[in-house]
Structure 1
Amino acid sequence: MTARRQALGRYGEDLVERWYAERGYRILERNWRCPSGELDLVVTDGSQLVFCEVKTRSSDRFGTGFEAITWAKQQQVRRLAAQYVRQRGGWAGPLRCDAASVMGRTVEVLTAAF
């Protein structure tokens, strides 16, 4: 991945992290990694644990960020979320997977997207 694309991805994650923080969510992890992959954001809203996949675009020439979160990517996020919970000894509350699309300064978050 080029430095420009990495910077664009970090920018989008910064904006989405701020979006959650402004709504009272607590940020637990950013770019949590394991051998199987990476979770962009892990946040909590009280008892609910939320895993958010963030896609940032500089234009919609190749589709929106939401369109880039394919079925296969959704399945990967679910597997990684399960691994995250297992590594931390479980989670008593509900789990949720969100999707975030960033273009320019516009942030859209679909809660319980998949």
Structure 2
Amino acid sequence: MAHAPHQLGQAGEAAAADHFLSLGYEVLARGYRHGRAEVDLVLRLRAELLVFVEVKTRSSGQFGTPETFVSARKKELFRLAATHLQEELDWRGDIRFDIVALTLLNQGFRLEHFEDAFY
């Protein structure tokens, strides 16, 4: 089951969105962009929590630790996009930055969800 990297990433984002929907989250945006920053998923849990998710999809289990998935520059851009969206939505609730790591298996993905992955 060969996937081009772009297709693999899109399939991973879709699987991550489905995961969050099944947990009762609302998907506000996929591929939210602000300037050079992109947030893979923006979710809301009821009225109290806004979650910004970086989705990392790999075709094998050669991961390393979750913290290594996201560079300092990426985190900085992520925070900029999050700040912009909070202002746009006039958001007063809590926010959280998560990482979802997906590994391609024969049947779908193995999904690992890291809440509060960075600040």
Bin the TM-score by the shorter chain: 0.7 to 0.9
Look up the equivalent residue of 2:71 and give its one-letter code: T
TM-score if structure 1 supplies the norm length?
0.87
- 2:53 alignment counterpart: 52
Within a 5 Å distance, the mapping from 1:1-114 to structure 2 comes to 4-46=4-46, 47-61=48-62, 63-64=63-64, 66=66, 67-88=68-89, 90-104=90-104, 105-114=109-118
CA deviation profile, 1:32-55 (whole Å, cap 9, x unmatched) = 123222110000111100000001
Task: Give the share of equivalent positions with the same residue, in percent.
Answer: 30
Give, in whole Å, the separation in 2 of the partners of 1:19 and 1:64. 22
Give unpaired runs (5+ residues) of structure 2. none
TM normalised by structure 2 equals: 0.84
User: When the two structures are aligned, how many residues end up with a matched partner?
Assistant: 110
Deviations 1:75-111 (A, max 9, x none): 22111111111233x2010011101100011011111
Deviates more, 1:92-101 or 1:63-72: 63-72
5+ unaligned residues in a row in structure 1: which ranges? Answer: none
